[in-house]
Amino acid sequence: MEKIMIHTYHIGGMGYSGYVGTVKHKLSTVPGVTSVKVDLVKKQAEITSSQVIKTDTLQDALNYTGYTIAELRD
């Protein structure tokens, strides 16, 4: 059975609705990511993956966009 992981991240620099599609597209290209939901109001992304993905890897996907990503901890 495939392991599913869901993590929530703060997205810095996202201020307009047009940015949601860019963030979703860029994060969706990361190997192992199966789903991305982006909330503009909360400036958050919920990422579902089939493997552990380092935050640095997600940040690399956002390179040259001006956005930053940081995992939210409970």
C-alpha span between 37 and 44 (Å, rounded): 8
Q: What is the pLDDT of residue 74?
A: 65
Distances in Å between the alpha carbon of 3 and those of 6, 14, 40, 57, 72?
A: 10, 30, 28, 19, 21
Number of compact structural domains in the chain: 1
SS3 of 55, please? helix
Domain with 33 in it? 5-71
pLDDT in 10s for each residue of the chain, 74 residues: 578 999 999 999 988 888 899 999 999 999 999 999 999 999 999 999 999 999 999 999 999 999 999 999 86
> Quick one: pLDDT at residue 4?
93
Q: The domain spanning residue 11 has which CATH number?
A: 3.30.70.100
